[in-house]
Amino acid sequence: MNIVQKNLKLLRVHDPILADRLKDVNGGVLKVLTAKNGMPTAQVHQQWIHSAYDPWKEAQAWAEHAVHEHRSGEALLTIGVGLLYHVEALTQILSKETQILVLVPDLGELLDVLTVRSLAGWGEQIQWLWGDAEDLADRVSQAYSRIRFVHHAPSAVLHEPYVRAFQYALRERVSSKQGGKLHVAVVGPIYGGSLSVTNHVVPALEALGHRVTWIDHSIHYPGYKNLERLRDQQLRMTMQSKFGDTLGVVSLAHIADDPPDLVLAMAQAPLSMPVLEQLRKKNVVTAMWFVENFRHLTYWQQVASGYDFWFVMQQEACIDALTHAGARQVTYLPLAANPAIHKPVTSCLEEHEEFGADVSFLGAGYPNRRQLLQTLLNQDWSFKLWGNEWENPGPLAVALQRNGARIDSETSVKIFNHTKVNINLHSFTGHGFDPDGDGINPRTFELAACGAFQIIDTRTLLSQHFDETMLAILQKPEDLVPTIQRYVYDTDERQGMAEASRQHVLAHHTYVHRMEALLGTVGLHMSDRIGEVLRGDRSTDALVAKSKGNPELIPMVNALPHSDRVELQDVAANIRAKGPTAVLSRDELLILMMDEYRQETRDFI
């Protein structure tokens, strides 16, 4: 019996269907070579999956690091197959009771392993996850409530689309099961595009039932703006930096006053690395939703390692850059719409006269827009240009509305609704379309939610969210005018596509959907506390069930209101309510001592 047959025999005991399926699979995914120490190692496209010198020693070091934050009771889900040295190393470190799951995107890769490495003595501990990503997500979400992901980067990268689909599907299923409620502190920016996103994030979290503390730094914008009057550029930049540092300390003060479960910072929030390090010392979980182009705004390089979670609107290049800069966990999270604001509206004749047009564009005056939009002048349709940063507009001055004033959300919705064809060109500092264009701007989702028809320039991530039955997609700049000519007079087709995009956004792309996904990701990776709260494991009933081994706790928990969450401070407050003359049990005194210690450690500043 050769090594493959022995491995298949072992597999058949635990997963007979997988063993039978492997008989019909071809290998050759990995190029198996011999390392300097004589052990098998592997390459794919000349990239080493394991060490060319000592793959086992390398795997042991990886495993020691991977299990650093693992907690008892968590299933460990390994992303990346390779030759499974890293998985075998995990089995030597973890207890036999720990459930180790291995995601297998390609059965041919697993067959390559079975050809050169024996599973005997450790493979019995592994549960293999293979097959359709959606089906796997269903099974895993039902079978495991506490999961910690570990990535073996060299092998995980081989199957990024499959891994991404699985993680996205699993996150969606976990987020849909949120039963408990968090306290989230949202730290907004002083100004900028992410401020409007913050205005949508806060009500979305509240709509999900979470308690939100909004640390709104936009109220400090006049003071920040006033510093621009300083003529010395170096002095101005120094003072603006110190101003931001001060607001970081202000954020700490708010957090210390009412400690949250999660601090969610929006792009350009004034949280410096020292502030983030202080939050980490106090075990406060932090996340950043970076709704900016990472190529244009690069301050993320200074704080990448400071956040526990990064959520970004771009994929491969952005995720790789942040990971390389020290980010722990980076997840793609696109922008969205707020149906309470972005919706179809009707208006009076006066508003229709101001906002109505055959063709409109709303946005800032980037170079590519200045160039392309000039082609819309002197056509047989009406064209209006809205937005700010259109200084020296040149020929476009005849189309510019309100002298280039900034347009608020309410007005933008009116513009979208009163325009036959909305042009949505992503910003680019060069000519034409951005060759690296990937992330989708918020206007894409907002236009769709309004039931407004739009023509959009192509983006690499666009097909993940919309198709050509919903949007008119430009592949090259010279297609802009002909595409407008096709749709501007075809009311039925425009309205049909606009309604399809609207229904799609309402079903999949609102800020409520995004916050469910964000918290689902945090819950998966922080399963020991936040995950418990989100699952409802901190409810009165759940805690009573957990207290069967400590029956003295049951009366104290049962005395509390039956809610979706109970904390130590709630139990302590109930005990204190008995009054200063009450005779307390030993367990009640211990609870009070623990709560006193909790309060004494809130010295954030």
Look at residues 50, 461, 77, 499 and name the one whose alpha carbon lies nearest to residue 293: 461
Q: CATH no. for residue 244?
A: 3.40.50.2000
- pLDDT for the residue numbered 439: 93
Do residues 308 and 409 both lie within one domain? no
256 contacts 600 by C-beta, under 8 angstroms: no
Residue 28 lies in a domain: yes
Do residues 23 and 132 both lie within one domain? yes
Rounded distance, CA 358 to CA 349, Å?
16
* Average pLDDT along the chain: 89
Residue 555 lies in a domain: yes
Torsion, CA 72, CA 75, CA 78, CA 79, rounded to 10: -130
- pLDDT for the residue numbered 232: 87
Rounded distance, CA 17 to CA 104, Å?
14
Class of residue 391 by CB neighbours under 10 A (exposed 0-12, middle 13-18, buried 19+): exposed
Do residues 432 and 505 both lie within one domain? yes
pLDDT at 542 over 90: no
Residue 8 lies in a domain: yes
Residue 466 lies in a domain: yes
- pLDDT for the residue numbered 524: 77
- pLDDT tens, 308-329? 999 999 988 999 999 999 998 9
- pLDDT for the residue numbered 332: 93
Do residues 482 and 556 both lie within one domain? no
Rounded distance, CA 298 to CA 181, Å?
34
Rounded distance, CA 170 to CA 79, Å?
13
β-strand partners of 78: 102, 150
Q: Helix axis angle, 568-576 relative to 586-600, nearest 10°?
A: 120
Q: Which domain holds residue 84?
A: 3-144
Residue 537 lies in a domain: no
Residue 157 lies in a domain: no
- pLDDT tens, 190-210? 988 899 999 999 999 999 989
- Helices and strands per DSSP (H, E), number in the chain: 26, 18
Rounded distance, CA 409 to CA 120, Å?
63
Residue 330 phi, psi (nearest 5): -120, 130
Q: Can you say whether the dihedral through the CA atoms of 504, 345, 193, 263 is positive or negative?
A: negative
Do residues 304 and 355 both lie within one domain? no
Do residues 328 and 399 both lie within one domain? no
Residue type, 471: L
Residues of the chain with pLDDT > 90: what percent?
65
- pLDDT for the residue numbered 603: 61
Tokens of 243: 């101003």
Q: Quick check: helix, strand or coil at residue 263?
A: strand
Q: Quick count: other Cβ atoms within 10 Å of Cβ 166?
A: 23
Residue 176 lies in a domain: no
How many domains does one find in the chain?
4
pLDDT at 605 over 60: no
Residue range 262-286: average pLDDT? 94
Do residues 34 and 93 both lie within one domain? yes
Residue 150 lies in a domain: no
Residue range 92-103: average pLDDT? 92
- pLDDT tens, 123-148? 999 999 999 999 999 898 888 877 88
Rounded distance, CA 497 to CA 128, Å?
43
* Parallel/antiparallel/unpaired status of strands 419-424 and 357-362: parallel
